[in-house]
């Protein structure tokens, strides 16, 4: 089904989602890794578990293709559970072998840091707007490039703009996160 959608509908490449059995759902995330799809393509090997901010995002902004609305199925998530999930994510380092993966990682980081600040879920677009207001202007070209790549701008195999900028974004967000924690 996923391959057919991507082949037939070019915008299907923007679809992403997770297949989570109800018994694996918790406010803090899933109790085990689950199959997922990114860029419209099924990734059948469970890779990582969903976190509280993922659950909150899906509850708020998820779209039901079949069945009940996400808010009626997914557990409620507290602001502190969202913040703790973001703090954990900021401690982790994930490999980004391509510009597309680095773009996704950068936008996930700023989305999550906005969630850390507000205690509410945020989309990648929300995170981008937040980053352009809250982060140093020197990072703005990296954030804008990440958004352009996410929206389909092509990249060449030798382009390392986002992979090289990712560590700078991580460092700025960790610094901002530690400042926010010390203010509390």
Domain assignment of residue 149, yes or no: yes
User: Over the stretch 49-90, which tens digit does the pLDDT of each residue have?
Assistant: 888 988 998 888 888 877 899 999 999 999 999 888 888 887
Q: Quick one: pLDDT band at residue 149, thresholds 50, 70, 90?
A: very high
Domain assignment of residue 111, yes or no: yes
What mean pLDDT comes out for the span 139-150? 96
3-state secondary structure of 96: coil
Domain assignment of residue 9, yes or no: no
- Residue found by looking up tokens 């997914």 in the block: 74
Distance CA 31, CA 48 (A): 10
Domain assignment of residue 19, yes or no: no
pLDDT at 103: 94
Provide the CA 164 distance to its chain's centre, in angstroms.
Answer: 19
Instruction: Outline where DSSP puts E strands in the chain.
Output: 17-18, 25-26, 29-30, 36-38, 41-43
Tokens of 172: 């700025």
What mean pLDDT comes out for the span 118-145? 93
Domain assignment of residue 123, yes or no: yes
What mean pLDDT comes out for the span 22-30? 90
Nearest to 132 by CA among 119, 145, 151, 149: 145
Q: Is 1 exposed, middle or buried (0-12, 13-18, 19+ CB in 10 A)?
A: exposed
Domain assignment of residue 66, yes or no: no
3-state secondary structure of 78: coil
Domain assignment of residue 34, yes or no: no
What mean pLDDT comes out for the span 129-146? 96
Distance CA 12, CA 43 (A): 15
* C-beta separation of 35 from 49 below 8 A: no
Domain assignment of residue 175, yes or no: yes
* C-beta separation of 119 from 113 below 8 A: no
pLDDT at 184: 55
Q: Which domain holds residue 141?
A: 78-183
Structural domains counted in the chain: 1
Nearest to 152 by CA among 53, 76, 39: 39
pTM, rounded to two decimals? 0.74
* C-beta separation of 77 from 93 below 8 A: no
pLDDT at 66: 78
Distance CA 26, CA 54 (A): 11
């Amino acid at each position: 089904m996923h391959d057919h959608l991507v082949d037939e509908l070019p915008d299907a490449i923007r679809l992403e989602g997770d297949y989570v059995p109800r018994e694996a759902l918790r406010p803090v995330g899933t109790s085990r890794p689950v199959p997922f799809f990114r860029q419209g393509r099924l990734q059948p090997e469970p890779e990582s578990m969903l976190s509280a901010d993922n659950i909150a995002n899906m509850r708020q902004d998820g779209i039901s293709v079949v069945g009940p609305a996400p808010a009626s199925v997914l557990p409620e998530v507290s602001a502190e559970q969202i913040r703790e999930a973001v703090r954990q994510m900021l401690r982790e380092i994930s490999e980004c072998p391509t510009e597309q993966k680095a773009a996704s990682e950068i936008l996930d980081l700023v989305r999550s840091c906005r969630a850390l600040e507000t205690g509410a879920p945020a989309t990648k677009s929300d995170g981008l707007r937040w980053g352009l207001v809250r982060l140093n202007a020197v990072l703005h070209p990296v954030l804008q490039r990440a958004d352009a790549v996410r929206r389909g701008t092509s990249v060449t195999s030798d382009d390392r703009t986002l992979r090289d900028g990712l560590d700078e974004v991580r460092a700025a967000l960790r610094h901002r996160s530690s400042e926010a924690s010390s203010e509390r």
